[in-house]
Chain A
């Protein structure tokens, strides 16, 4: 009943705010979200529409940081619209009908609206180019769809709001190279960029008068040109000759700084243009599959061991083990190799660790092949124990025993560090198979609980550092009831980090907080194996490991 009342109220609110429901964003960003139907770069030349809300209303606040536009930017206005689902084969395909749309923008304080050029218009999404001469600041975007009455939404015009056209959500930017003879080629794992070529990146939102700088592989690279595409309205292009000293690799970081904002992506680069050596030893055929927008069958094993310390004498572990069969495309794999390494140090701001985790699972529906049959169960085995993981609909999971109290320095664990073996008895699509991998020891902080934090002094946290990969990092989160949360990053192998007193002083004495430290392994350190299915296709096995230690904190 209460929900009914809420719905009634919400409907009222919706109507009251209906004029504000249009959401405007950079078309390049919009395409990322539309990746369900845009799995490869063939769709980049125009927006692809997927979302429709049908009978479910979506109420988006106009002040949630969206509706940022820049002069000349290619933007998409999203609004409520009925869309049509077409059943094609076994998968429903959502499509949208063409509409007529007239848009204009009235800058704040102005009595007249500036006409806007509409590029494409289908139900639910209008793609347009922000007028070049629009003044910066708040503005009212007016839009009239078909014979509907005119509606409006609020936008903020800024100097620049650049975004790459990317190959998918979290994936690398669409990158091409221009050879010395002027020929254009798409950068991919099998077709890397090479010195002497010019990297050609596309996006939207450079605005006017923006300062653009770049680094490739950490090396400063001169920007040859950054500005409007000569023929495609709203599109920007950035040309960067590739320095000779850029190291080789499948995921070389590229940083583009537009005014004060830095965007990152990766490219494949080799000295001679031959296929890159993939850090997961993917075959040439598999890399070609990925370059062409295809996916590989994928089994991701997830192992977690979380230490909870209550007092200096009582601690326990919460553990889990599971494996999901799925598929993974180029963007999903690239997400394991982010272009930025977390900078060591501490900040008193919300953690972005979750955002990093979001992109770990890179498979997208719409390109998912049938799940391979690898048998009814799998096992994970080490020298002391065997964990059985029965499967159901492509997901295999282990039932962890209830956590029990143990000593702080040695609570019982079912997932100790060391050598493990994944094993399948085989199924219709996979012969009996196994592969070994090595897990690090569980992360454990030194000292007891609660952790005493003297607010006027630097705080040093140390942990066991044995067996961690040299590239592994730890994320620390310190949250109190009075001060801002503190987030730190450090190399796991360092075994220690120091939080400056300046970040602790805002906490009130005699209050309690929580300290959590977790281990993160980069893609290069992810245990993996390339198994062969009966069909000859690859089953890419990945082991995702997470260890953490959480305990109370007393601020003094």
Chain B
């Protein structure tokens, strides 16, 4: 089944021009036959109207001309010739009458990217009705069984259809066509039919396997084609707003409770609570629900340098906001006052204690008085004292009381040492598990006799986020979300 819907192609190309990340890094790894972009600096007085591009493979003296699709002030979009051999190559480009430039690239047989509304956002996928009409897949317009779905992308190269597999919600789908889009250089389309038994959802995991590689994303799918039931209980209008590229004003309450334990007899809490006001688009909403399910996994990576960031909080944009749990009323933003050192075994309860809380936002210029009740889990506390002592040659277990967390909460452990070049050991596990085992084959990468720092952090994921919706004064929806994180950090002696 080959479907060529040119208005979709136009949309895809438009997305390509505004979302070059969907086309693969440039310069960098490019698939033969794919659409690619090269970015260049251009004097303001000289905006090129045309460009030439060619690819010079290593060890070749003859550049292969590439088809230029479009030229923007600082970007040339072109098609990597399908007959470009794999390996290093130079991309030689000349914007207008400006000087010729070059950049190093690596050509691979295939490196698939799918066109989407944002780099990690919903795909520009199309549901095909039996009568041939098409609608863009979205929260309000999911795919349904029996329908064909068309995905648009680039970078399949010469991958045969037989080497392409699609699963949706873990269910294998029937691939109807995968390959070049007719008449559109560099563009690929993958058509598949929604299989019976495919689960419903707004963010059903999608996997495209091609050759030995795979790409993951998500689609909206329901049994009857009616709008999906959004995990944030969005109205149909809200979902249409997101589908059309709009954003939803969000009030995000961020709570943090951190144990600092330099030693067993000197521990304390540091806590804070604040409200952020992001405007969330479809891609941002999807990010709450499209992470892999946490199963215990550990890995190490090399260190990185510092990062500087600034708070975006603007207290003048809202009315007063408070938190209340019956025992305490906190005016936001709030940070815990200095607390005295206490023994780890007898830490007084934190202010942001587990239990029922109510978040109230007074009427402001944006939205009316609103409140949200939610239940905060207890803070996480590592069992045992400080410092921790790890024998690098044996598996080490870190444990905590996981009984207060729901199934969506994730625990993340980070272990680093103090010396330059230290590995960073990171683990993820469901917080309910209450334990993480650090394998000796990773611990042995740390130096004996070194000192390090371990941090265990628990946070809630999309399905478990307390949320509610209200209407702002202008009539648009207001999404209120509570995000919390609890952590415990301690020194570690490596034996």
Contacts and interface: CB of A to CB of B under 8 A. Distances in A.
Q: How big is the A interface, by class? A: 35 or more
B263 A63 contact: no
A433 to B, nearest CB: 31
B186 to A, nearest CB: 23
Nearest to B339: A149
Given A61-B306, A481-B88, A18 B258 contact: yes
B100 A316 contact: yes
A552 B256 contact: no
Contact of A554 (B59, B284, B304, B338): B59
A311 B92 contact: yes
A484 interface: no
Interface stretch (B163-171, B202-210, B268-276, B436-444): B268-276
Contacts of B495: 109
A10 B417 CA distance: 20
B223 interface: no
B449 A138 contact: yes
B422 A63 contact: yes
A16 interface: yes
Contacts of B493: 108-109, 138
A149 B343 CA distance: 12
Nearest to B495: A109
Interface in A89-139: 106, 108-109, 113, 137-139
A461 to B, nearest CB: 19
Nearest to A55: B311
A308 B103 CA distance: 11
A140 B338 contact: no
B457 A138 contact: no
B58 A554 contact: yes
B405 to A, nearest CB: 16
A63 B309 contact: no
B208 to A, nearest CB: 24
- Which applies to chain A's interface (DSSP): helix, strand, loop or mixed? mixed
A142 B419 contact: no
B443 to A, nearest CB: 15
A4 B250 CA distance: 11
A7 interface: yes
A237 to B, nearest CB: 29
B474 interface: no
A155 B452 CA distance: 9
A138 B418 contact: yes
B453 interface: yes
A12 B270 CA distance: 12
Q: In this complex, which of B45, B59, B450 has the most chain A Cβ atoms within 10 angstroms of its Cβ?
A: B59
- Which applies to chain B's interface (DSSP): helix, strand, loop or mixed? strand
Interface stretch (B192-200, B316-324, B481-489): B481-489
B279 interface: yes
Nearest to B447: A138
Contacts of B401: none
Interface stretch (A41-49, A282-290, A400-408): A400-408
Contacts of B58: 510-512, 554
A518 interface: no
Interface residues of B, number: 79
Contacts of B101: 308, 310
B420 to A, nearest CB: 4
A15 B272 contact: yes
Q: In this complex, which of A3, A138, A318, A481 has the most chain B Cβ atoms within 10 angstroms of its Cβ?
A: A138
A351 interface: no
Interface in A408-460: 450
B303 A140 contact: no
Nearest to B256: A15
B108 to A, nearest CB: 13
Contacts of B308: 56-59
Interface in A1-22: 1-8, 10-13, 15-20
Interface in B256-286: 256, 258, 260-263, 266-268, 270, 272, 276, 278-281, 284
B88 A154 contact: no
B312 interface: yes
Contacts of A514: 104
B451 A154 contact: yes
Interface string A264-291: 0000000000000000000000000000
Given A108-B450, A149-B266, A64 B303 contact: yes
A65 B422 CA distance: 10
Given A16-B485, A149-B340, A402 B99 contact: yes
A147 interface: yes
B97 to A, nearest CB: 7
Contacts of A400: 43
A147 B452 CA distance: 26
Contacts of A17: 414, 453, 455, 489
14 contacts: A8-B254, A15-B487, A16-B487, A19-B260, A20-B489, A57-B309, A59-B308, A61-B303, A61-B305, A62-B416, A106-B387, A140-B387, A149-B339, A512-B104
